[in-house]
C-alpha cells in the first residue's frame, strides 16, 4: 500500500515541481493529540526491548493467545473488528510494530526482521506467554513466518494473510533498496489525498475505504518519526530467498487471501504451499488486500475454524 504512496509522491513532484511540494508540506502531528485520539483504552504503552510499545491486550488471560501483526504503513487498529470477534475465546494481542503507528521509531534504528522477532519475544516474555498463535498480514505476514522459522518453540499455529517474502518485479533477492531523492521528501510532504490514492487499490469494494479509515491511516503515518522510520526500514531491508526458512516451519499454517487482492495476488499462495510442511489455503471471494478491514467476519470465521482453543 505505501509503495503506491511513494510512487505517487514521485509523480507529484515530477508534475508540479517543488513549489507545490512546499504548499503540501505535512509536518508530524503532535504525539499528545494522536494518543488522545487513537490510544484510548484498551490501548496501553509498555517498555519492551528498549521500545515504548503501543499495544492492546484483550480477552481472557487464561485463554490461548493470538498475536496479530499488521502490514506496512498500518497499525494495530487494522485488527479492531477481528479482535472483537475473537476475544471471547482468545487472549488477543496486537501492537504497532516498531517504526509504525504510535509505537513510532525504534531507538536502535534497526528495522530488520530479527529485531522485530526480538521485540516479539520480549513482549511474550513480559506477558508470561510461552506460546501463541501468530497471525500476520502482508509485511506482518513475513515477520510472522520468519518468526515461526526462527523460534518454533514459541509458535503454536500460524496464519499468513497475503504475506510478503518472495521476489517481485523491481524487488530482487539480496539487494538493498535505495530511496530516490524525491522519496526522501516523504517526511515533509504527505497530504491526506495522497494516502487515499495509495490505499485505494487495497480494497475490492470501494465503499470499504471510508473517510474515517483514510483519516486513521494518515494520522498513523504522520505520527512523530514514522516517515523517517519507514524510509530507514525500506533501505535497511534485504530480501533473502525464502525457501530454506519456509521449509523449516513446523507450525500448522493457514494462508488466507482475498480473491481480488490487487497488490499480492492470491495465486502467490502456491509459492508457499509448495515449500511449507503443513499448510493449507483459504481464498475469500470478493475481498482485497486487507480482509481484516474489508471482511472481518469472514476472517474471524476462518480463524475460529483453524485455530485450536
Band of the pLDDT at 1, cuts 50, 70, 90?
A: low
Domain boundaries, the chain: 2-306
Quote the percentage of the chain above a pLDDT of 70. Answer: 92
Q: What is the share, in percent, of the chain residues with pLDDT greater than 90?
A: 81
Average confidence (pLDDT) over 177-188: 79
What integer is the mean pLDDT of 11-39?
75
Q: Round to whole Å and give the CA distance between 89 and 59.
A: 7
pLDDT of 10 > 60? The answer is no
Using omega within 30 degrees of 0 as the cis cutoff, is the peptide bond preceding 42 cis?
Answer: yes
pLDDT in tens, 142-165: 999 999 999 999 999 999 999 999
Spatial distance between the Cα atoms of 103 and 11, rounded to a whole number of angstroms: 30
- Round to whole Å and give the CA distance between 197 and 201: 8
For strands 51-58 and 91-95, give the pairing.
antiparallel
For the chain, give the mean pLDDT: 92
Q: How confident is the model at residue 186 (pLDDT cuts 50, 70, 90)?
A: confident
Question: Is the pLDDT confidence value at 213 over 80?
Answer: yes
In 3D space, the residue among 174, 172, 168, 148 whose CA is nearest the CA of residue 160 turns out to be: 148
CATH superfamily of 2-306: Alpha/Beta hydrolase fold, catalytic domain (3.40.50.1820)
Q: Say what the pLDDT of residue 22 is.
A: 56
φ and ψ at 258, to 5 degrees? -85, 130
Per-residue model confidence (pLDDT) at position 6? 55
The pLDDT, as a whole number, for residue 170 is 75
pLDDT band at 179 (very low <50, low <70, confident <90, very high): confident
CA angle at 22 for the pair 16 and 28, rounded to the nearest 5°: 125
Q: Is the pLDDT assigned to residue 220 strictly greater than 50? A: yes
Pick the residue with more confidence: 14 or 134?
134
Which three cell numbers mark 18? 517543488
Q: What pLDDT, on the 0 to 100 scale, is given for residue 3?
A: 56
In angstroms, the CA 257 to CA 3 distance is 20
**Average pLDDT of span 173-194:** 83
How much helix, strand and coil, in percent to the nearest 5, is found in the chain?
A: 45, 15, 35
Amino acid at each position: 500500500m505505501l509503495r503506491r504512496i511513494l510512487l505517487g509522491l514521485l509523480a507529484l513532484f515530477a508534475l508540479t515541481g517543488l513549489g507545490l511540494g512546499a504548499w503540501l508540506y505535512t509536518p508530524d502531528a503532535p504525539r499528545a493529540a494522536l494518543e488522545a485520539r487513537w490510544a484510548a483504552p484498551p490501548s496501553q504503552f509498555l517498555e519492551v526491548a528498549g521500545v515504548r510499545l503501543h499495544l492492546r491486550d484483550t480477552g481472557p488471560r487464561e485463554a490461548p493467545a493470538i498475536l496479530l501483526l499488521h502490514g506496512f504503513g498500518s497499525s494495530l487498529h487494522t485488527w479492531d473488528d477481528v479482535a472483537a470477534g475473537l476475544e471471547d475465546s482468545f487472549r488477543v494481542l496486537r501492537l504497532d510494530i516498531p517504526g509504525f503507528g504510535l509505537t513510532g521509531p525504534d531507538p536502535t534504528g534497526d528495522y530488520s526482521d530479527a529485531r522485530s522477532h526480538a521485540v516479539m519475544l520480549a513482549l511474550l516474555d513480559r506477558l508470561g506467554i510461552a506460546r501463541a498463535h501468530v497471525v500476520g498480514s502482508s509485511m506482518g505476514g513475513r515477520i510472522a513466518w520468519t518468526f515461526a522459522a526462527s523460534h518454533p518453540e514459541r509458535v503454536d499455529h500460524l496464519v499468513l494473510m497475503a504475506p510478503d517474502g518472495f521476489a517481485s518485479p523491481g524487488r530482487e533477492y539480496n539487494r538493498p533498496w535505495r530511496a530516490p531523492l524525491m522519496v526522501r521528501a516523504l517526511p515533509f510532504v504527505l497530504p491526506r489525498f495522497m494516502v487515499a490514492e495509495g490505499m485505494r487499490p487495497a480494497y475490492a469494494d470501494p465503499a470499504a475505504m471510508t473517510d474515517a479509515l483514510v483519516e486513521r491511516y494518515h494520522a498513523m503515518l504522520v505520527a512523530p518519526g514514522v516517515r523517517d522510520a519507514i524510509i530507514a526500514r525500506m533501505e535497511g531491508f534485504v530480501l533473502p530467498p525464502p525457501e530454506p526458512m519456509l521449509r523449516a516451519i513446523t507450525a500448522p499454517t493457514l494462508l488466507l487471501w482475498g480473491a481480488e487482492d490487487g497488490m499480492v495476488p492470491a495465486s502467490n499462495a502456491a509459492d508457499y504451499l509448495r515449500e511449507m510442511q503443513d499448510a493449507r489455503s483459504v481464498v475469500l471471494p470478493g475481498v482485497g488486500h486487507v480482509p481484516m478491514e474489508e471482511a472481518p467476519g469472514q476472517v474471524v470465521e476462518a480463524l475460529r475454524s483453524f485455530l485450536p482453543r
